[in-house]
Amino acid sequence: MHLPPALDEFLEMMSAERGAANHTITAYQRDLLDYLAFLNAKAIPLKQVLEADIEAYTTMLHTQKLAASSIARKITSIRQFHRFLNNEGMTAHNPAALMEFPKQARNLPKILTEADVSKLLTTAAEDTTPQGIRLTAMLEVLYATGLRVSELVSLPLAAVLRAPDFISVMGKRQKERLVMLTPPAKEALAAYIPLRPLFFGSKAQKTSPWLFPSRSAEGYTTRQQFALLLKELTLKAGLDAAAVSPHVLRHAFATHLLNHGADLRSIQQLLGHSDIATTQIYTHVQQERLFETVAQHHPLSPRKKQGVKQEK
């Protein structure tokens, strides 16, 4: 495909100097060809583009009812492109410098109630086979600590044996943190650890460094294996399998702590969030639950009044 010289140079810079991946280059190319086609249709040279012209383009994008994330990606492409043109002296100014991204709706995480989690744990504990005891241990540790599933499955045995009440976890960007084990988690681990050799990679294998070893290529239970076991358990417990995942249990850990009075800073440290803004999503979850409670149970709420009328 023959590209305009300025676009060709921009894409070459993104690839050679910034090491952008092929799919990123392709996305930039697609977005900017669409933008340049808009400018060409209005006979606007790149050197004469004004903020109003870019606003007209983004307005057109909104009329196409594109998702906010798609528009935000296109704006990123345009901003990078005009910055490049300005830095290279191809244009006298950067008309995209003050472009604003569309506000994107923030999806609240799915949350399990405390009763739902209790049902999962009770159902898991009813299975007294080695597989059931292992799954119970994994669930108890996950709910007690709020670990990421990748952190859970790759826990070394030494992390548990080092101290009876805490686990040392190596999280994202090699940041280490301590998380506390609850009494049920410690009991579940005590029941499981003697059975670990049953899950070694082969009968000849005498040891494994992992807390939850398996015959996978990694040497430990994979995220996919654990997710499948959790789905099967969810169905067995009579819960909605589509609403339950390892990450949902992590959300449940944080939300239930917040509901019982834990402060955000402590939850941030336990979850291993580098920015407390990430943790603040749980305050929004809590507010949503409070609003829902008021809407359902306040005597003057429209929903409550409707329910009273239906009863009559």
- pLDDT tens digits, one per residue of 60-116: 988 887 887 888 889 999 999 999 999 999 999 999 988 776 555 455 556 788 999
Residue 275 neighbours by CB under 8 Å, 6+ apart: none
> Residue 184 burial (CB < 10 Å; 0-12/13-18/19+)?
middle
**Structural domain boundaries, residue 128:** 114-293
- DSSP conformational letter for 47: G
237 and 138 fall within a common domain: yes
Report the CATH number at residue 190.
Answer: 1.10.443.10
134 and 229 fall within a common domain: yes
Find the catalytic residue in 74, 134, 256, 273.
273
175 and 32 fall within a common domain: no
Contact (CB, 8 A) for 78 and 27 = no
**Within-domain flag for 243:** yes
Report the CATH number at residue 38.
Answer: 1.10.150.130
Contact (CB, 8 A) for 99 and 73 = no
- Would residue 282 show up in a list of annotated catalytic residues for this protein? yes
**Within-domain flag for 36:** yes
164 and 81 fall within a common domain: no
- 253-265 residue pLDDT tens: 888 887 788 777 7
- Would residue 303 show up in a list of annotated catalytic residues for this protein? no
- Would residue 247 show up in a list of annotated catalytic residues for this protein? yes
Which pLDDT belongs to residue 312? 41
Find the catalytic residue in 30, 247, 297, 305.
247
Contact (CB, 8 A) for 186 and 134 = no
**Within-domain flag for 74:** yes
- Would residue 172 show up in a list of annotated catalytic residues for this protein? yes
- 186 vs 254, which has greater pLDDT? 186
**Within-domain flag for 298:** no
177 and 273 fall within a common domain: yes
Supply 285's token pair: 């979850």
- Residue 295, pLDDT > 60, answer no
Helix or strand run (H / E) with residue 170: strand 166-170
**Within-domain flag for 101:** no
- Residue 292, pLDDT > 70, answer no
175 and 70 fall within a common domain: no
Domains in the chain, number:
2
Taking alpha carbons only, the member of 279, 239, 297, 287 closest to residue 259 is: 287
> pLDDT grade, residue 9 (50/70/90)?
very high
123 and 83 fall within a common domain: no
Q: Measured between alpha carbons, how far is 40 from 31 in angstroms, rounded to an integer?
A: 14
121 and 170 fall within a common domain: yes
Find the catalytic residue in 30, 172, 175, 305.
172
47 and 128 fall within a common domain: no
Q: Measured between alpha carbons, how far is 247 from 251 in angstroms, rounded to an integer?
A: 6
- Residue 19, pLDDT > 70, answer yes
- For the chain, percent of residues with pLDDT exceeding 70: 82
Average pLDDT, the chain: 83
- pLDDT, mean of residues 186-206: 88
59 and 163 fall within a common domain: no
Best-predicted range by mean pLDDT (150-154, 242-246, 253-257) = 150-154
Which pLDDT belongs to residue 48? 94
Q: Which residue has the tokens 């499981």?
A: 192
The count of residues in the chain is: 312
